């Protein structure tokens, strides 16, 4: 058992950290990037591609780096630290992960190669108005049209949906839920600003031309659930990075801000609240790291994702809110970053299932195990 | 990064599991499994079995019976023991005074005390706290005045856990009231509890139990060779003693057993044997606790898997705080599952008609409030985290 990075992984982390520290050296720099569409840094995205980061989880023969969840997780944590707006989890882990898991050899080569070198941005269009983290498609339908397919219905919110070159879309067919590829420009896309300053789109399909991803006639509900779980675990790591920075931002502020003639750090009530933030952070970090390692060991991704999400979402609320409260009024301003951390944490812990959603899953499966053994190889609950 | 135990560590885990479940008599283990506290005889018997096998005091120096185990192995050893309901070696002996004597005692003290301490031939008590010296331990007032080859000890200790069984007590005394800093006037003295002038008086706790005591010293004469290390260095030794063990700070396996029991009980604990788990609020609470415990266990594993000896892993500081809160939360769950039976303080007298677990839920709940008070209260733990980790 080992929870530390090896030297190659440490080198990767340092390289990503340097790149992101340059790109987002200040809150103003990040806000400037987010002010214009597509809401993230195209240049930064290409630099990540050059570093191999966008192809991390994919096989070398499709242009990837053949790394695993550990590398993906450490990149996510670095992105979280500076709350970088690049859609790494959505494009690489989620949409890319689905193409990798379900796509034909040709589709994988074409799309994952482009994703890895930064030339093709993938988006995952799955959530529908009113849906709550279901792994299946409900209202968007696909029908055969000639050699291909036509999609009808609405997906929203689709993260980076207006910028995506290719959308991976879930839709109902006679087989259940299947996955389709749509050229971004072919869909009607209305972009909007998200809570964290990024962009999402409402994507409307009106008989829009689509190609099936992988073999036709196969229900992909499980594949979607698996990919979402893997993305959720990466998002948990991103949240851990963000929480760590939010804590230290707050601690530094307590040490410098003076009221009543002394620094805030002299007040025990505030010290204790900072200590509680630290406890939450470390518990969340432990669980998110474990979920990453469980993926690496081929364990039950769904269970690990729910367990990590419950812990991380609780910590994210606590740390995000306390970071704002302990800063006082300054944190309410758009110019200051504490509030941005809160907003980003909100998005990270909602996009793929919130705490209640995951806790319900765990609560409905209590009798499947006597206790949780984190070392049980292959399954969290053997 | 790797989740799996190495093959050697996995084999070690098996070896420990096998030992605890086959070499410690099942009567000892079952009595605890059924919710009774370990008796003195059980604790002594178990520690002697472990000691005979050379695994009672693995954290001690090798020449006194220690094993050169990694922190991870010590964690596995302790967790497997707790999981098998084996009473762990008495902490006053194995984790507190033993390592201090081994590190700071004279050769004579080591020979005289360490083998007997490892074998629990001597039952040690911890005499640190006083009525006016709790969290602020350095304000202690019990005095030891040198008189020829002896110290004369006067004062009062309190909260002495299981002092009723104590043969010897290691105690912090003030040897130099004039010291420039109050910490510098403190020494660590070993006192035979059968000495004339020592009085032990039990304190009844809120659950009706008698596990702590007041200990009075009235003109007690203690030979100077019973001083540990140097006079005036007691505070240093006490800090070593209290900060010594980072392994096993959070009793994860015990909490896990208790929570698994609670879940099993809940599955048939409703009216007419129905399942309380059908209530979504109960189910959510148990799911939440299982997850909190998982986070705690993983944090404990992170600490032991990547701990440089000597340098504490920063995350170790959360274990006492969160461990006690989680432990207490499980006793809260049980008291709530018990429903109206929570009015019973045990299943004696007329309460015999109630299920054993339900009648014992309240006393256990009340008793476990102690966990966040002793061993450095949770407020003191927050102070430590804020100070040493966050620099506040
Ligand atoms: C069941 C039990 C068994 C024990 N066994 C032993 C034993 O065997 N040997 C032994 O020597 N001692 C033992 N103790 C004593 C234990 O170590 C003390 O109770 C502990 O140090 C707290 O001291 P106190 O009870 O005097 O509380 P106090 O120190 O008076 O504290 C009262 C409250 O104030 C808080 N507080 C104190 N100082 C601060 C501060 N600076 N900032 C913020 N909050 C603060 C505390 O956290 C607590 O909530 C035992 C205690 C119990 C309850």
The reported pLDDT for the residue numbered A330 is 98
User: Active-site residue among B15, B150, B245, B332?
Assistant: B245
Q: Which B residues in the span 27-86 are in contact with A, Cβ-Cβ below 8 Å?
A: 72
8 Å CB contact of A286 and B315: yes
Q: Which residue has the higher pLDDT, B364 or B347?
A: B364
Q: Across chain A, how many H-helices and E-strands are there?
A: 13, 9
**Cβ of A289 under 8 Å from any chain B Cβ?**
yes
The reported pLDDT for the residue numbered B249 is 84
Q: Tell which CATH classification among 1.25.40.10, 3.30.1330.20, 3.40.190.80, 2.40.110.10 matches the domain A123-219.
A: 2.40.110.10
Categorize the per-residue pLDDT at B77 as very low, low, confident or very high, splitting at 50, 70 and 90: very high
CA distance B254 to B143: 39
The pTM assigned to this predicted structure is: 0.96
Identify whether B46 is part of a domain: yes
What phi and psi, each to the nearest 5 degrees, are found at residue B201?
Answer: -125, 125
Strands (E), chain A: 122-125, 141-145, 148-159, 166-173, 176-183, 188-193, 199-212, 258-259, 262-263
The reported pLDDT for the residue numbered B308 is 63
Identify whether B205 is part of a domain: yes
Judgement on whether residues B173 and B287 belong to the same structural domain of the protein: no
In the predicted model, what is the mean pLDDT of chain B?
94
pLDDT at A382 over 50: no
CA distance A226 to A100: 12
Q: What is the pLDDT of residues B317-359, one digit of tens each?
A: 899 999 999 999 999 999 999 999 999 998 888 888 899 899 9
pLDDT at B253 over 60: yes
Q: What is the pLDDT of residues A181-240, one digit of tens each?
A: 999 999 999 999 999 999 999 999 999 999 999 999 999 999 999 999 999 999 999 999
- The tokens describing A376, both together, are 């049980």
CATH 3.90.1170.50 fits A222-362, yes or no: no
**Cβ of B311 under 8 Å from any chain A Cβ?**
no
H helices present in B24-177, as ranges: 26-33, 40-52, 71-83, 91, 98-104, 107-118
Contacts of B295 in chain A (CB under 8 A): 283-284, 286-287, 311
What phi and psi, each to the nearest 5 degrees, are found at residue A155?
Answer: -120, 130
| Long-range interactions of B40-43: CB distance < 8 A, separation 24+ | B40/B123, B40/B162, B40/B165, B42/B87, B43/B87, B43/B90, B43/B120
pLDDT at A380 over 50: no
Judgement on whether residues B262 and B218 belong to the same structural domain of the protein: no
Percent of chain B with pLDDT over 70: 98
- The tokens describing B149, both together, are 């080859």
Judgement on whether residues B141 and B190 belong to the same structural domain of the protein: yes
CA distances from A314 to A245, A289, A310, A345, A350 (A): 17, 16, 6, 11, 12
Cβ neighbors of A195 (< 8 A, separation 6 or more) are A343, A346, A347
Contact A130, A157 (CB under 8 A): no
Judgement on whether residues B227 and B253 belong to the same structural domain of the protein: no
Interface test with B, best of A68, A245, A286 (most B CBs within 10 A): A286
Judgement on whether residues B311 and B348 belong to the same structural domain of the protein: yes
Identify whether B117 is part of a domain: no
Nearest CA among A307, A318, A353, A320 for reference residue A242: A320
- A116 C-alpha to center of ligand 1: Å? 58
Domain boundary among B63, B89, B115: B89
- Which residue(s) pair with B217 in the sheet? B155, B198
Sequence spans of domains, chain A = 7-120, 123-219, 222-362
Judgement on whether residues B148 and B63 belong to the same structural domain of the protein: no
CATH number of the structural domain spanning residue B267? 1.20.140.10
The reported pLDDT for the residue numbered B143 is 98
Q: What is the pLDDT of residues B269-311, one digit of tens each?
A: 999 999 999 999 999 999 999 999 999 999 999 998 876 666 7
The reported pLDDT for the residue numbered A73 is 98
Domain boundary among B68, B89, B110: B89
**Cβ of A145 under 8 Å from any chain B Cβ?**
no
CATH number of the structural domain spanning residue B209? 2.40.110.10
pLDDT at A381 over 50: no
Identify whether B330 is part of a domain: yes
Contact A251, A113 (CB under 8 A): no
Range of the domain at B21: 7-89
CA distance A349 to A318: 12
The reported pLDDT for the residue numbered B317 is 82
Q: What is the pLDDT of residues A280-329, one digit of tens each?
A: 999 999 999 999 999 999 999 999 999 999 999 999 999 999 999 999 99
CA distances from A218 to A176, A177, A202, A213, A214 (A): 8, 8, 27, 10, 9
Pocket of ligand 1 (CB under 6 A): B 126-129, 134-135, 159-161, 212, 370, 373-374, 377, 379-380, 383
Judgement on whether residues B207 and B255 belong to the same structural domain of the protein: no
ipTM of predicted complex: 0.96
Judgement on whether residues B261 and B225 belong to the same structural domain of the protein: no
DSSP states of A51-116: TTGGGTTS-GGGT-----HHHHHHHHHHHHHTT----HIIIIIIIIHHHHHH--HHHIIIIIHHHH
Using DSSP's 3-state secondary structure scheme, residue A191 falls into: strand
What's the number of domains chain B is made of? 3
The reported pLDDT for the residue numbered B310 is 62
Q: Which B residues in the span 129-168 are in contact with A, Cβ-Cβ below 8 Å?
A: none
pLDDT at B114 over 60: yes
DSSP classification of residue B133: B
Residue B245 appears among annotated catalytic residues: yes
Identify whether B108 is part of a domain: no
pLDDT at B29 over 50: yes
In the predicted model, what is the mean pLDDT of chain A?
96
Q: What is the pLDDT of residues B161-198, one digit of tens each?
A: 999 999 999 999 999 999 999 999 999 999 999 999 99
Mean pLDDT of all residues in A252-270? 98
Categorize the per-residue pLDDT at A260 as very low, low, confident or very high, splitting at 50, 70 and 90: very high
Cβ neighbors of B288 (< 8 A, separation 6 or more) are A310, A359
Q: What is the pLDDT of residues A223-250, one digit of tens each?
A: 999 999 999 999 999 999 999 999 999 9
CATH 1.10.540.10 fits A7-120, yes or no: yes
Q: Which atom of ligand 1 is nearest to the CA of B379?
A: 47
Nearest CA among B131, B116, B99 for reference residue B168: B116
The reported pLDDT for the residue numbered A379 is 42
- The tokens describing B236, both together, are 């240093």
The reported pLDDT for the residue numbered B331 is 97
CA distance B367 to A30: 53
- Find the helix packing angle between A301-327 and A221-256, rounded to 10°: 30
Nearest CA among A201, A242, A282 for reference residue A78: A242
């Amino acid at each position: 058992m080992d929870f530390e990075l090896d030297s190659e992984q440490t080198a990767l982390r340092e390289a990503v950290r340097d790149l992101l520290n340059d790109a987002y050296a200040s809150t103003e720099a990040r806000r400037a990037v987010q002010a214009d569409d597509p809401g993230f840094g195209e240049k930064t995205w290409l630099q990540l591609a050059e570093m191999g980061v966008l192809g991390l989880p994919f096989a070398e023969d499709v242009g990837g780096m053949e790394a695993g969840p550990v590398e993906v997780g450490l990149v996510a944590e670095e992105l979280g630290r500076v709350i970088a707006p690049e859609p790494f989890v959505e494009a690489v882990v989620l949409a890319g992960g689905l193409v990798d898991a379900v796509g034909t050899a040709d589709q994988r080569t074409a799309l994952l190669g482009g994703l890895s070198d930064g030339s093709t941005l993938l988006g995952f269009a799955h959530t529908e108005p009113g849906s709550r983290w279901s792994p299946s498609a409900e209202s968007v339908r696909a029908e055969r049209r000639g050699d291909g397919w036509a999609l009808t219905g609405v997906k929203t919110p689709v993260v980076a949906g207006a910028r995506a070159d290719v959308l991976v879309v879930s839709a109902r067919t006679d087989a259940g839920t299947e996955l389709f590829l749509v050229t971004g420009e072919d869909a009607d896309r209305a972009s909007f600003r998200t809570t964290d300053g990024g962009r999402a789109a409402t994507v409307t399909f009106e008989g829009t031309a689509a190609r099936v991803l992988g073999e036709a006639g196969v229900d992909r509900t499980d594949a979607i659930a698996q990919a979402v779980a893997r993305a959720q675990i990466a998002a948990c790591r991103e949240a851990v990075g963000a929480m760590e920075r939010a804590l230290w931002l707050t601690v530094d502020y307590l040490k410098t801000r003076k009221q009543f003639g002394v620094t805030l750090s002299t007040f025990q009530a505030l010290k204790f609240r900072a200590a509680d933030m630290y406890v939450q952070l470390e518990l969340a970090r432990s669980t998110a790291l474990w979920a990453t390692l469980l993926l690496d060991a081929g364990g039950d991704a769904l269970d690990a994702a729910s367990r990590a999400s419950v812990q991380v979402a609780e910590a994210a609320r606590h740390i995000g809110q306390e970071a704002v409260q302990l800063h006082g009024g300054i944190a309410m301003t758009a110019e200051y970053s504490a509030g941005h951390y809160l907003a980003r944490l909100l998005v990270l812990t909602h996009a793929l299932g919130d705490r209640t959603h995951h806790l319900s899953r765990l609560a409905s499966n209590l009798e499947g195990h006597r206790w949780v053994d984190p070392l049980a190889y292959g399954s969290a609950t053997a | 990064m790797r989740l799996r135990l190495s093959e050697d560590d996995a084999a070690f885990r098996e070896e420990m599991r096998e030992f605890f479940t086959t070499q410690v008599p099942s009567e000892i283990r079952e009595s605890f499994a059924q919710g009774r506290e370990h008796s003195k005889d059980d604790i002594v018997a178990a520690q002697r079995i472990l000691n005979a096998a050379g695994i009672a005091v693995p954290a001690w120096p090798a020449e006194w019976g220690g094993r050169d185990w990694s922190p991870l192995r010590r964690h596995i050893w302790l967790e497997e023991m707790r999981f098998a309901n084996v009473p762990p070696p008495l902490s006053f002996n194995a984790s507190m005074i033993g390592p201090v004597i081994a590190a700071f005692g004279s050769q004579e003290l080591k020979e005289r005390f360490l083998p007997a301490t490892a074998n629990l031939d001597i039952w040690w008590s911890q005499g640190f706290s006083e009525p006016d010296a709790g969290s602020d331990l350095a304000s202690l007032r019990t005095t030891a005045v040198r008189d020829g080859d002896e110290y004369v000890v006067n004062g009062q200790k309190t909260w002495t856990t299981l002092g009723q069984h104590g043969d010897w007590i290691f105690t912090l005394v003030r040897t130099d009231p004039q010291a420039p800093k109050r910490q510098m006037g403190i020494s660590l003295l070993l006192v035979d509890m059968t000495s004339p002038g020592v009085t032990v008086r039990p304190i009844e706790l809120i659950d009706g139990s008698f596990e702590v005591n007041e200990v009075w010293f009235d003109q007690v004469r203690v030979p100077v060779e019973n001083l540990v290390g140097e006079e005036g260095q007691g505070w240093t030794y006490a800090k070593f003693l209290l900060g010594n063990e980072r392994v096993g700070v959070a009793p994860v396996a015990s909490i896990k057993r208790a929570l698994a029991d609670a879940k099993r009980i809940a599955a048939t604990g409703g009216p007419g044997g129905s399942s309380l788990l059908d209530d979504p609020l109960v189910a959510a609470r148990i799911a939440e606790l299982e997850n909190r415990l998982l986070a705690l266990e993983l944090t404990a594993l992170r600490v032991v898997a990547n701990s440089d000896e000597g340098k504490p892993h920063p995350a170790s500081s959360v274990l006492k705080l969160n461990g006690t809160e989680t432990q207490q939360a499980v006793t809260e769950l049980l008291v709530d599952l018990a429903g109206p039976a929570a009015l019973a303080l045990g299943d004696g007298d007329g309460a015999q008609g109630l299920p054993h677990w339900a009648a014992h839920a309240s006393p256990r709940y009340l008793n476990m409030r102690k966990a966040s008070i002793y061993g450095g209260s949770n407020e003191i733990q927050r102070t430590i985290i804020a100070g040493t980790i966050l620099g506040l």
